[in-house]
Structures are given as structure tokens and as C-alpha cells.
Structure 1
């Protein structure tokens, strides 16, 4: 997990609050398991209406270092957020828009 030197949001290009990278696997056409990693970003703009991100966004929106109590809550909030977003299927329209930005050299 990174909270500094994070890439821009792939959805809106704004700076993100954190990037989480975690193991991810799927089955290919032949049924063979393919293991890899998946990366998810938490964006102050794009995730504001996501109930899974609400408390984490609120915690990270405060300027300055986390207090000891906030730091203790941080890991649980990240875990809850990742549990919610880990298995979400991509939005096809957003995926197509991201591909268009990539092909245009914007990513």
C-alpha cells in the first residue's frame, strides 16, 4: 500500500489518496488459474459516493499526520474498503474510456 508517490487516478487523472496492490487470480479460457496482482486506488473525487470508501475518505481527508487513534482505525478501514472493492467487476464504459486515454498517450 502506498500513500505517497501514487499515480494519478485512472478514472479522472486527479491525485489519489492511496494505492493498494494485492494478490488476484482468475481462470483463463482453458480453465488454468492465472495468478497476479491487482491495484486499486482511492480517489477523493471518484470514490466520494462509494459507501465502502466513505469512512476511509473522511479519515484521510484531514490534513497532517494521523493521530494514534486514527492510525489504529486506518488498517481496519482499509481492510473493509478492499473487501468491498476487491471482487468488483470493471465498468465497461469506464474501461473503454481508460483504454481511449491510454491509446491517446494520456496514461
Structure 2
């Protein structure tokens, strides 16, 4: 099943594995996003995120979406409106989430030393 919600394209059938833990993803969302480049200019593009039951647990927006999948194994037309609302909230959270630069630097150092 695929669908579009306010510029967000969803893929529920055969979503990719989580890029963080390689576990199974529940859905893939592709959505418009923008960021500032080194010259402080807006760069517009698309971003993708897979909802992971392991890695996304603990965030309010993701938890509600994860709960929907836990309760309704078959997400479909009967709960499409609720799914759309929850996905929109999760995507809005993702748009505002920033990279933890310290953690990224630490992981990069571990990777350079062959410890990742």
C-alpha cells in the first residue's frame, strides 16, 4: 500500500529495513525538506525515513504511530485518516530533529579506528 498525505509519500508494503539497526521497517515516508548550506542558503530536496519499532521508540510522535501498527496489523482504508494524522506528526518531528554532532564525531572516530 502506498499513499500521499500533504506532500508526504508513504510506502507501507515492503518498506526497507532500518538504516540504523537493519531491522524491519514498518513504513517509509518520503517528504519535502530543506536545510541551510555553508553559505546559509536554503537547499530544498526530499528526505526519506523508515519507521523502526526498535530505533524510533521513545518519541511521542513515533510511539503513537508504533502503537497503531501494534494494534492494527493491517493498516488500511479503515484507519487511513488516523494513519495520515500520525504520520504527519511524526514527519513534523523529523523535520525539526537535528543531528547530534558530538555523537556523530564519536562514531566517526570509532569508525576510523575500526571499532564500529
Q: Does TM, normalized by the shorter one, top 0.5?
A: yes
Where 2:55 maps in the other structure, the secondary structure is coil
1:72 counterpart (61, 65, 81): 81
RMSD (Å), alpha carbons: 2.4
- Contact in 2 for aligned 1:21/1:37 (Cα 8 Å): yes
1:12 aligns with 2:21: yes
- TM-score, normalised to structure 1, is 0.75
- TM-score, normalised to structure 2, is 0.70
Q: Which runs of 5+ in 1 are unaligned?
A: none
Find the counterpart in structure 1 of residue 73 from structure 2: 63
Q: CA separation in 1, counterparts of 2:31 and 2:77?
A: 26
Q: Which runs of 5+ in 2 are unaligned?
A: 1-9
What is the CA deviation profile of residues 22-68 of structure 1, one whole-angstrom value per residue up to 9, with x for unaligned ones? 11112222233221111122101111222111111111123234461
